[in-house]
Amino acid sequence: MEKSRRVINATAPIRVCDLGGWTDTWFAETGAVFNIGVYPYAEVQIYVRETESASPHILIHAENYDERYAIDPKNIAYDRHPLLEASIDIMDLPDNLSLEINLYSRAPGGCSTGTSAAITTALLGALDLLSPGHRTPHEIARLAHRVETEKLGLQCGIQDQICSAHGGLCFIEMYQYPLAAVSSIQVSNPIWWELERRLVLIYLGKAHSSSEVHGRVIERLESKDADKSVLGPLRQAAVDGKNAVYTGDFAALGAAMVRNTDAQADLHPKLVSDEARAVIEVARKHGAVGWKVNGAGGEGGSLTILCDAEGEHKRKFIEAVPQIDPSFQVIPTYLSRMGLRRWEVNG
């Protein structure tokens, strides 16, 4: 016999403009990242029922993929959506609950904006409300990172989960992988509004696919005597970007973004794809002052563009994007003042 239903909701932002990416990894050892949490957010909704059944069930609805399937909470296989299944597996959930979990994101998968980390953070945050002694957002971020590294054995930096958990303008100082101090950059409303107005997120039409290139970069940097000086400009770009935002110096922020993208290309030329370069060239012609290949870079994924002060230039650039390639999309964004949000309502 089942009892009345509870409904748990959670949302978490994605991130853009991740200056200092690649320095938040185990092979970098220490790092600095400045990134920006934005909406559209990842959304999780869990319908919870207490049950007296000996075999409580968990039903997953991956709405973006139009998939519904059940898993056995006592024997979870990572075979359909491993990130979701591993997130459920890592939690110590009560035995007397049946769950229906709905997950959705407006950001395309493989957009290089930390969408998977946002989904994981929101899911873990929602599931955490079913456990005693709730975790802080930073603890949720650490747990989301463990899902990828420990449960799934993936190469994974720490910045995406932290930004989804904390939101806003994040400055992350990794002092010993995966441990980090996180500072929320507080700015005046005019700076916030102007930054939000100038940013444009361009999806390059397909999920990023760069495992081979990423593998070569990692192989280059993980060896015992590796020259890791190439990571220095990336760390510096994060510091410069943080300082620029504090003072509302958008020209300096744009310059930091450009230096970061150039430093990515120094890691491997293919981290800045031909498609990304085509968008950058059009953005430059329309007055843009900065551009950042989001995430690790490579084929597909997305770009963050920082436009100049003239709104007409931004609008003309947005109109020009489909002319570069009809599959390219402008994804509307706005800055997230909050990170992980979770709450419960009566069903």
Query: What are the pLDDT digits (tens) for 74-131?
Result: 889 999 999 999 999 999 888 888 999 999 999 988 899 999 999 999 999 999 999 8
Specify the 3-state DSSP secondary structure of 68. Answer: strand
Q: What is d(CA 325, CA 323) in angstroms, rounded to the nearest whole number?
A: 5
Q: Tell how strand 290-293 and strand 302-306 pair up.
A: antiparallel
Q: Where are the domains of the chain?
A: 2-187, 189-335
Residue 5 pLDDT > 90, yes or no?
no
Tens of pLDDT along 248-275? Answer: 999 999 999 999 999 999 999 999 999 9
Q: What is d(CA 193, CA 244) in angstroms, rounded to the nearest whole number?
A: 15
Report CA torsion sign: 331, 333, 338, 343: negative
- The whole model's pTM is what? 0.95
What is the reported pLDDT for 1? 44
What is the reported pLDDT for 76? 92
Structure tokens, 179: 């441990």
Tens of pLDDT along 194-210? Answer: 999 999 999 999 987 65
What is the reported pLDDT for 151? 96
Q: What is d(CA 87, CA 89) in angstroms, rounded to the nearest whole number?
A: 5
What is the reported pLDDT for 55? 65
Residue 218 pLDDT > 80, yes or no?
yes
Structure tokens, 281: 């060239």
Residue 69 pLDDT > 50, yes or no?
yes
What class is the 189-335 domain?
alpha beta
Q: Do 305 and 288 contact (CB within 8 A), yes or no?
A: yes
What is the reported pLDDT for 74? 85
Specify the 3-state DSSP secondary structure of 69. Answer: strand
CATH fold of 2-187, please?
Ribosomal Protein S5; domain 2 (3.30.230)
Q: What mean pLDDT is reported for the chain?
A: 94
The residue with greater pLDDT, 346 or 89, is 89
Over the Cα atoms of the chain, what is R_g?
A: 20
Tens of pLDDT along 47-64? Answer: 999 887 666 689 999 999
The residue with greater pLDDT, 73 or 103, is 103
Q: Band of the pLDDT at 247, cuts 50, 70, 90?
A: very high
| Segment among 30-34, 51-55, 168-172, 234-238 with least mean pLDDT | 51-55
Q: Count of CB atoms within 10 A of residue 1's CB?
A: 6
Report CA torsion sign: 219, 164, 149, 98: negative
What is the reported pLDDT for 222? 87
What is the reported pLDDT for 95? 84
Whether 2-187 and 189-335 share one fold: the answer is: no
Structure tokens, 313: 């230039």
Q: What angle do CA 240, 241, 242 make, to 5 degrees?
A: 90
